Amino acid sequence: MHLRLALCACSWAGLAHAKSGFSGQQQVPILGDPPSGAFANSASLPTVIPTIHDTSAPDPQKECPGYKAWSVATNEHGFTASLAIAGEPCNVFGNDIADLTLHVSHQTASRLSVKILPTYIGPENTTWFELGDQFVAQPRWDGSTTTETSHLQFEWSNEPSFQFSVSRRQDGEVLFSTFGHKIVYEDQFHELITNMVDDYNIYGLAEIVRPFRFGTNFNATLFNVDNADATDSNSYGSHPFYQETRYSKDQNSSAHGVYARNVHAQEWLMREKTLTYRAIGGSIDFYFFSGQPNDIQDAPSTALESIRQYQRSIGFPAMQAYWAHGFHQCHWGWSKVQDLRDVVANYRRANVPLEAIWTDLDVYYKARPLTNDEERFSSAAMHEFVADLNKDGQHYVPLVDSNVYMPDKDDPDDVYLPFTRGDKLGAFIRDGSTGDYFVGKAWPGKSVWADWLVPSTHDWFANELRIMHEATPFSGIWIDVNEPSNFDNVLVDHTLYSQDSRDSRKLDFPSYRINNFRSTHQIIDGTIALNAMHNDEHATREYDVHNLWSVGITKAAYNGLATTVHPGKRPFIISRSTGIGIGQYAGHWGGDNESKWGALYLSISQALIFQMAGVPMFGTDTCGFGGPDSFEELCARWTQVNAFFPFFRNHYGVMRAAQEAYVWPAVAEAARRVIAIRYSLLTYMYTLFYHAHTRGDTVLRALAWEFPNDERLRATDNQFMLGSALLITPVLNEGSTSAKGVLPGISENTRWYDWYTLQEVKSGKSGENITMEAPLEHINVHVRGGSILTLQKPGYTTRETREGLYSIVVALDDRQKADGDLYLDDGESIEQDATKMVQLKYSSNKLTVGIRGMYHATPALATITIAGLKRRPKNVTLDIRGSQHALRENIFQNETLRITDLAQYFGDGGWEHEFFVQLS
């Protein structure tokens, strides 16, 4: 949930970015630190003009001299060189670094590293420039790639100053070029400009709520802040990775990725001919991904492969517990345990499947995290409630707010044990000047924040989660306000944050003012002081690691749950704030959206960019969290969309009308239908997560990724794909009983089958919108020809569904072929005793099922359906365990063969033995 401080938002059309400056209240520019005591006893910060909108701000390209390279030393996979400033320092937004070192490394065939650091780095400035791999994985040379075997080439020049380009060896295509621009490198400001092709297509740079494809006139700010779902602005997360796709006249495309390994506040300024990268700290540490598979020199480059390469560099996402893919319900505003019981009972009565019920801060005592209000949500009552849930195969997920209440030291009755235990370990971030704990404000009042840079804090948090679990057992947690959010709007006790003479930088009021979309645009608006000090050996400042605070708490939570609370089990964590690599530990929900049609539409692009960021476990609050009350039509349509998102939760805020799926008849019916589809597909979705976890695949796909040679799909974000097999076309407009969308790939002979009938849809031309009927309870789903899906009979819970009979659906392509796979394990263990991979292939009128692994899945295989057959087979034969069986229980109608009554041959489980089915 979100405390709505004065918030400046602009429309997703990007109009607010078109002009320099702002209208309305007079702006007070602050170029550095305010005078001592200038705003003492003030209740808020002054508003400033972001530098990109300040017409009086200096232009670094005009003011700064750039660098010259010298002392080049080559090695087999790259080279190093010294960079010397090429003139008088400009010091536009900080202090120029006169001597730099360039490191160029062809780390793998598909990844090139370009890193520029100050030549001198000592104990006093290590954290200013170096990002340790204990925070973010440091990609390294694979030990075999050379400059000759790399897909990428690096070229540079010293005229008129140092500039470089990265190109693809295969065709010489330039992917990134600073030629014609100077490199600016100061202690609190970097600028790197690359030339762009005409009408370029870039995607990513999460988290910004906006349409999927960036335009050529947009300012993307990455700085974690409690900013609700304001469009076109920085928000809860920062992922400095973009993917670019280029289309050629011969109807082919190429793709590559660019990753800036930097967690400081930064901006990416898109203009018609250039893309400018600006950061207010760290180093220039860039990685370029060719988009070509490592082992194939001349393979085409694709967006999906460049995304895999990025995720391989930051760490693949966690494998989720099977139950986490069920349908979840949450609300901020339940007042007692009986409210929770009533919701669970109402879902059961309406026969709408419910996997888990969540609670918000209502359960806390005086809004203090990690506690129970013993009057309204007593431990005894919650124990009994959770036991009843678990007996029925359901789960409970509580909130973990990320602040820690600080008791009044003058009140002996004001006791908060999580603080007391943490205080003994010195587990909290400190004020940069006094050395005392930094104190801000959150829901319970005065609060402190944990310091994730020291191991003892992780131990403290694991113990707190254990104590919390003993009070109320839970299956997973969701972590909120972990940007971190500070409600005091940066003024504590009406005293301005002070600067520390031990650090010469301007931390709370840097000279370069990012376009932070809080009401004041100040970088410290709504968060803890960036001058705050951590307890590690370097006394790291929050300024240097702010965008990783959420990664710290989720990593600590993951390890605590996996070792202390549920030893050996996969932790289920959903985090509001995110940063580089967080997908290894947690999923993400889209934050405090509003119950509006526009928010529903934008949720698709949100979901897609988090697939890119390596956080596939993503979903938005179904039906909307805030704003106007949700209503039947919107909630039905939203439920249909989110049923195909990896994370599926209905959540709404305090003092809002109820919006559980059973509240309205049409929503209940839509939910029953679409959850039945989702649960039947759980094995498919789970397999997609396995591929995400092991090789960096995306679970959801943009149409442009799956059909990379159709330029008309480059901005499509009103449709999406679940894996490569399923196309989802939702209704996103009020009052519509039909949906418009494309059936992509028609020109390449792609076949599409209606999910509900398995009849091929033959209408529509390539790239042409068609109208699909969609009454309120219906969402259009199509199966791609060439796909094989393994399904299970859906139950009320995921546990029941795992016990349901299996079926196979084969959707043939134009060559009468198809393939698919299925991954099986116990659904909960981090280290598996046994797994199984099932490979399914249809070719030459034969379905072949191959099996690797020893995991035993009990349910039998009951039916096989083959869609798109050109003729009815005369004979259908099953060959299993050396025996052949004529299958006479089959129906052929409308080019679809349905083979039934198979369970008798699979009594010991559907995937215990390899088999094939021959049609003749």
Active site residues: 480, 483, 592
What is the rounded CA–CA span in Å between residue 628 and residue 734?
A: 15
What is the rounded CA–CA span in Å between residue 784 and residue 782?
A: 6
What is the rounded CA–CA span in Å between residue 573 and residue 319?
A: 11
Transcribe 192-236 into DSSP letters.
EEEE--TT-EEEE-SS-BS-SS--SSEEEEE-----TT-BTS--S
Contact yes or no for 127/118 (Cβ under 8 A): no
Transcribe 336-385 into DSSP letters.
SHHHHHHHHHHHHHHT----EEE--GGGSBTTBTT---TTTS-HHHHHHH
Residue 232's nearest CA partner among 492, 602, 512 is 602
- Is the bond preceding residue 484 a cis peptide, omega within 30 degrees? yes
Structure tokens at 399: 């909130």
339 φ, ψ to 5°?
-60, -40
What is the rounded CA–CA span in Å between residue 283 and residue 189?
A: 9
CA 548 from chain centre, in angstroms, equals: 14
Beta bridge partners of 917: 847, 878
Pairing of β 184-186 and β 266-270: unpaired
**E-strand stretches of 779-905:** 780-784, 787-792, 806-811, 818-824, 836-843, 846-853, 861-867, 876-880, 883-886, 890-893, 896-899
What is the rounded CA–CA span in Å between residue 777 and residue 775?
A: 6
Residue 919's nearest CA partner among 853, 864, 858 is 864
Contact yes or no for 205/241 (Cβ under 8 A): yes
What is the rounded CA–CA span in Å between residue 435 and residue 149?
A: 52
What is the rounded CA–CA span in Å between residue 183 and residue 283?
A: 12
Q: Is 473 exposed, middle or buried (0-12, 13-18, 19+ CB in 10 A)?
A: buried
Structure tokens at 784: 């791609």
